[in-house]
Amino acid sequence: HGSLGEVWDEQMSSSMLGKRLRKVVQNYQAMNKYGVPFHTKGGADSGGGPKRTGPELLCQLKGKVGVTTLTPELKPFSSLPWAPLLPPRPLTSDLGPFRSCAVVSSAGSLKHSGLGKEIDSHDAVLRFNAAPTVGYEKDVGTKTTVRLINSQVMASDDHRFLSSSLYSAGILVAWDPSPYSSDLNEWYNRTDYPIFLQYQKYRRLHPQQPFYILHPRVEWQLWDTIQANMAEAIQRNPPSSGLLGTVLMMSLCKVVHVYEFLPSRRKTELCHYYQRFYDAACTLGAYHPLLYEKNLVKRMNQGPDRDIFSHGRVTLPGFNSFNC
Ligand code: C5P
């Protein structure tokens, strides 16, 4: 059954990946689809400076990342006819604060975890994309307070985003990668997927369900923080939903438990607990700088390694629970 020594190694680097995955990551590292400027290529710590401690990282994250969502008065939305569909106030003004929160990664290692009751015992639960609860209650629980979805899921025919009951529970928060500049006009004219079209359609079909759009600045603030703490150049793509959702909940909750983001003893190449698809890239990253996200989360974790090993559980303080 393995040992504690096998929990996530916070020094993980692309050189420790298998040959195939290392190639894929290297290819992404060479690309720069979103126009990340070159001066941020190497991090502040890449010169061999002292590594930040967990508490220092938490403070840096709190200082650099401001979770916010689009509101109708922001340009260019203010001059568009559908602006009134956007919530008048940002998510962080409308929701919480919560005492304890769970972030449920969609990892295959949740399968047979029996974590459902524990996850449901939290005041708020965040899930990702098309991750279901029906049929998986024993392992992932039943409660959904927030569902963070990417624009690809919103636009894909397979996910039946506009009609599936999967998306009808809780508050929806959508995101799509913008250019690094986070210029809203530039983003509006070239989103990765048609997030705004799908947003309008969904809002008209389900006007009662709260639905926010993440300000794309958040992704790049988070990206800057990851790169600033890594010795190697990370993929110049936005962080994964997993880290975005974690930081979102750290803005709303006193304490956040993240499940199976750092893999437990159940670690597996099974990509999602709800699909029969195997790929190590789901856990280690290819497009997203997921490897480095996990290194930072491991360093910030305030719980024992035993929690990671047995429950895949990480404990992070909410941004309002500590002073810097
Ligand atoms: O695949 P999807 O993005 O919907 O999964 C949600 C998040 O869960 C990912 O962004 C990633 O952070 C995390 N995840 C993981 N390991 C997996 C699958 C997902 O860490 N095997």
pLDDT score recorded for residue 41:
45
pLDDT score recorded for residue 50:
76
Distance between Cα 148 and ligand 1 center (Å): 12
pLDDT score recorded for residue 230:
94
For residue 186 the two structure tokens come to 């530039």
Output the CA–CA distances (angstroms, integers) from residue 177 to 237, 241, 262, 278, in the order listed: 8, 11, 24, 25
pLDDT score recorded for residue 39:
59
Distance between Cα 106 and ligand 1 center (Å): 5
Output the CA–CA distances (angstroms, integers) from residue 174 to 37, 68, 146, 258, 266, in the order listed: 26, 12, 10, 20, 30
Distance between Cα 140 and ligand 1 center (Å): 14
Roughly what angle, to the nearest 10 degrees, separates helices 290-300 and 54-64? 120
Element (H, E) at 27: helix 19-30
Distance between Cα 187 and ligand 1 center (Å): 24
- Ligand 1, atom nearest to 293 Cα: 12
Check: pTM over 0.90? Answer yes or no.
yes
ipTM: 0.99
Q: Give the number of other Cβ atoms within 10 Å of residue 11's Cβ.
A: 11
- Give nearest CA residue, ligand 1 atom 16: 283
Distance between Cα 233 and ligand 1 center (Å): 21
Task: Write out residues with Cβ below 6 Å of ligand 1.
Answer: 105-108, 128-129, 240-242, 261, 271-272, 282-283, 290
Pocket probe for ligand 1: among 241, 258, 287, the residue whose CB has the most ligand atoms within 8 Å is 241
For residue 88 the two structure tokens come to 């008048």
Roughly what angle, to the nearest 10 degrees, separates helices 241-250 and 290-300? 30
Distance between Cα 144 and ligand 1 center (Å): 17
Distance between Cα 104 and ligand 1 center (Å): 9
SS3 254: strand
Distance between Cα 241 and ligand 1 center (Å): 7
Distance between Cα 129 and ligand 1 center (Å): 9
- Ligand 1, atom nearest to 108 Cα: 21
SS3 197: helix
Q: Give pLDDT tens digits along the chain (324 positions).
A: 557 768 999 999 988 899 999 999 888 888 899 999 875 544 444 445 678 999 999 999 999 999 999 999 999 999 999 999 999 999 999 999 999 999 999 999 999 999 999 999 999 999 999 999 999 999 999 999 999 999 999 999 888 999 999 999 999 999 999 999 989 999 999 999 999 999 999 999 999 999 999 999 999 999 999 999 999 999 999 999 999 999 999 999 999 999 999 999 999 999 999 999 999 999 999 999 999 999 999 999 999 999 999 999 999 999 999 999
- Ligand 1, atom nearest to 241 Cα: 10
Pocket probe for ligand 1: among 7, 146, 151, 282, the residue whose CB has the most ligand atoms within 8 Å is 282
Rounded CA separation 225/230 (Å)? 9
Structural contact between residues 171 and 98, judged by C-beta atoms closer than 8 angstroms: no
- Give nearest CA residue, ligand 1 atom 17: 107
pLDDT score recorded for residue 2:
59
Structural contact between residues 52 and 45, judged by C-beta atoms closer than 8 angstroms: yes
- Ligand 1, atom nearest to 105 Cα: 8
pLDDT score recorded for residue 101:
98
Rounded CA separation 176/199 (Å)? 12
- Ligand 1, atom nearest to 109 Cα: 21
Pocket probe for ligand 1: among 128, 150, 298, the residue whose CB has the most ligand atoms within 8 Å is 128
Torsion of CA 61, 64, 68, 73, to 10 degrees: 180
